[in-house]
Amino acid sequence: MRKTSILVLDDCEDLLELTVCFIEKLCGCTVVTARSLADVQRQLETVLTCELAILDINLDEGQPNGIDVYNWMRANGFQARIVFLTGHARTYPLVTEAERLGDVKIFSKPLPASTLIKIVQNEPVEP
């Protein structure tokens, strides 16, 4: 039986490592990591087999943001769930844009471990 695989995209190395640790240890999933759209593109075949993508909305300045990653993934056939994480208020322009996508959920950082587990296990959780 194949382990569930999850893409985690965050430009903050520490937060990325912490999220990966929680998911691997608490949920028993395989985690594919990326810090940018370019990282996601380099791992196209692996990314497209993930059952969930957890994307940071706001990446390094001057780089494509999480919504750009979302659009690229959908355009390349990614059909699984996508969840956005953000440290910004709901009024932040990228958060507002992400809300308009309709097929995603948006959660505020820092994310409690219990919420992360529910997201990974596809259990009901309100953002």
Q: Distance between CA atoms of 127 and 95, rounded to whole angstroms?
A: 13
pTM, to two decimals: 0.91
pLDDT digits 0-9 by tens, 51-84: 999 999 988 888 899 999 999 999 999 999 999 9
Spatial contact of 95 and 67, defined as CB atoms under 8 Å apart: no
For the chain, how long is the longest CA-to-CA vector?
A: 43
Residue 81, helix vs strand vs coil: strand
Residue 34 has a pLDDT of: 97
Instruction: Label residue 27 exposed, middle or buried (CB < 10 Å: 0-12, 13-18, 19+).
Output: middle
CA 22 – CA 4 distance, rounded (Å): 14
CATH for the stretch 5-120:
3.40.50.2300
> Which residues sit opposite 106 in a β-bridge?
84
Averaged pLDDT score across all residues of the chain = 90
Q: Both tokens of residue 83? A: 């969840």
